[in-house]
Copies of this chain bind each other. A is one copy, B any other.
Amino acid sequence: MTSPLRIGIAGLGTVGAGTVAVLREHATELAVRAGRPLELTAVSARDRSKDRGIDVSGLTWHEDAAALATDPNVDVVAELIGGADGVAKSLTEAALAAGKHVVTANKALIAHHGTALARAAESNGVSLAYEAAVAGGIPIIKALREGLAANRVERLYGILNGTCNYILTNMAQSGREFADVLAEAQELGYAETDPSFDIDGVDTAHKLAILASVAFGTEVDFDGVHVEGIRHVSPVDIEFARELGYGIKLLGVAARTADGIEQRVHPCMVPENAPINHVNGVFNGIEVAGDFVDTTIYEGRGAGAGPTASAVVADIIDIARGNAVATFAVPADQLKPAETVAMDRHRGPYYVRLMVVDKPGVFAGIATSLGDNNVSMESVLQRGRAPGAPVPVVMTVHDSQEADMLRTLDAIAKLDAVVEAPRMIRIETFE
């Protein structure tokens, strides 16, 4: 066990450079912890002449990342290129087929192809490790796959996208509009020039699909995730939420229900005192409830060179130590089909905001719309009165089925006195 574990890194962007930094700065300690030296032998990136602050002398430089898969001096390929398909996928497949371990930070790849790649890894007797793909520096994959392995996981809730959490936190603190805060986040580098991947919930959905697979022993089912982003979250809803004792967070939720497994990403109202409501700014947080362990919570930075490299190198250390666990906690050929429940069968409490012109009979119309669809009101709040002008009316309703809620909102939207499309936000009670 004293022969070095030889590492080839594909992709020398932020995370790749961070991984090189960890391996070099902590080489001595890592060798002691891993029981053998972790030796960086090869790298691949697009432009060799670019200055990345990394000394690549002594390393094999592959112009083509695919060459890492056949490099005889590489035992582990760290795939840090990104993207669900293309080079990342072909490199991963080739490396696994060649009997090399693969460590990746690529959530899109695992969300879309995780089950097939896990089968490939396991049939070749190598590891496919992806701690860095979900929640950056938080060792949540290890926690689910090993630390909580004695439990039947019932539910998990994640703040999995730092950009969204930064925007929502900032909106809550400043009272500003979504578009303003997004523009500022882009200037500060907390949001991409094209932010849709983050703010429309896709990135969260990738991570959620991975977590659900590990938690429930099911095939990765990204297509089964119901996805809504945060574009429609408005300061007025944040303010009403606060009055009602809630914060608003973009959560990924995976839960066992009587009908199957729910996987959903959308803005949620969460109780002010819920631990996850205190996860702010660019931090990520995950709450996991298991049948014996009850509730556990994990928080940390979800992105960035250091945290992500920390996870990449943790996976490499596992491989060096000879520790192998089935990719998604149970062997890939024993993963169950996902059987994701359609969103219209979701049940839970809801918040609804209407803009209403105060006329006689308007509340009767709303009440009828609710009653006709099996939805029962918990509370209602009307703010101010301006004769003839629309005012917000805010309701919370008891546990209802999503399909009934959607019919209710359709009916309410047709009322004469209701002048804007009703806004609905699901409430999470963590029960």
Seen from chain A, the residues whose Cβ lies within 8 Å of a Cβ on chain B are: 18, 21-22, 26, 29-30, 32-35, 131, 137-139, 142-143, 146-152, 217, 275, 278, 290-301, 304, 306-307, 309-314, 317-318, 321-326, 329-331, 334
Contacts of A296 on B, CB cut-off 8 Å? Answer: 137-139, 298-301
A22 to B309, CA, bound (A): 35
Q: Is the CB of A295 within 8 A of B290?
A: no
Task: Identify the closest chain B residue to A21 (Cβ).
Answer: B292
Contacts of A146 on B, CB cut-off 8 Å? Answer: 139, 142, 146, 314, 317-318, 323
Given known pairs A149-B33, A325-B321, the reply for A292 and B306 (CB within 8 Å) is: yes
Contacts of A148 on B, CB cut-off 8 Å? Answer: 139, 310, 314
Q: Is the CB of B293 within 8 A of A307?
A: yes
Q: Which of B32, B142, B306 contacts A147 (CB 8 A)?
A: B142
A267 to B355, CA, bound (A): 51
**20 additional contacts, CB 8 Å, given A150-B312, A293-B311?**
A30-B149, A32-B217, A33-B326, A131-B147, A143-B143, A143-B147, A149-B314, A150-B313, A150-B314, A150-B317, A275-B299, A278-B278, A293-B300, A293-B301, A294-B300, A296-B301, A298-B298, A321-B325, A322-B323, A323-B323
A301 to B329, CA, bound (A): 23
Contacts of A300 on B, CB cut-off 8 Å? Answer: 293-297
A312 to B150, CA, bound (A): 9
Across the A-B interface, give the 6 residue pairs with the lowest CB-CB distance, nearest first: A139-B147, A150-B313, A296-B300, A137-B293, A293-B310, A297-B299
Q: Which of B32, B217, B297 contacts A331 (CB 8 A)?
A: B32
Main SS class of interface, A: mixed
Given known pairs A147-B142, A150-B309, the reply for A32 and B334 (CB within 8 Å) is: yes
Contacts of A150 on B, CB cut-off 8 Å? Answer: 22, 26, 30, 309-314, 317
Task: Identify the closest chain B residue to A304 (Cβ).
Answer: B294
Task: Identify the closest chain B residue to A150 (Cβ).
Answer: B313
Contacts of A147 on B, CB cut-off 8 Å? Answer: 131, 139, 142-143, 311, 314
Contacts of A318 on B, CB cut-off 8 Å? Answer: 146
Given known pairs A148-B139, A310-B150, A313-B150, the reply for A18 and B297 (CB within 8 Å) is: no
Contacts of A334 on B, CB cut-off 8 Å? Answer: 32
Contacts of A217 on B, CB cut-off 8 Å? Answer: 29, 32-33
Contacts of A278 on B, CB cut-off 8 Å? Answer: 275, 278
The residue among A150, A293, A321, A334 with the most chain B CB atoms within 10 A of its own CB is A150
A275 to B280, CA, bound (A): 10
A317 to B18, CA, bound (A): 32
Contacts of A307 on B, CB cut-off 8 Å? Answer: 292-294
Contacts of A311 on B, CB cut-off 8 Å? Answer: 147, 150, 293
Q: Which of B291, B323, B329 contacts A33 (CB 8 A)?
A: B329
CB of A299, distance to nearest CB on chain B (Å): 4
Q: Is the CB of B317 within 8 A of A149?
A: yes
A-B contact pairs, 23 of them (CB 8 A): A29-B152, A30-B149, A32-B331, A33-B326, A139-B142, A143-B143, A146-B146, A146-B318, A146-B323, A149-B313, A150-B311, A275-B299, A290-B310, A293-B307, A294-B301, A294-B306, A294-B307, A295-B301, A296-B299, A297-B298, A297-B299, A322-B323, A323-B323
A307 to B295, CA, bound (A): 9
CB of A321, distance to nearest CB on chain B (Å): 6
Task: Identify the closest chain B residue to A18 (Cβ).
Answer: B292
Contacts of A322 on B, CB cut-off 8 Å? Answer: 323-324
CB of A135, distance to nearest CB on chain B (Å): 10
CB of A212, distance to nearest CB on chain B (Å): 16
CB of A330, distance to nearest CB on chain B (Å): 5
A317 to B329, CA, bound (A): 11
Contacts of A331 on B, CB cut-off 8 Å? Answer: 32, 35
The residue among A147, A295, A317, A322 with the most chain B CB atoms within 10 A of its own CB is A147
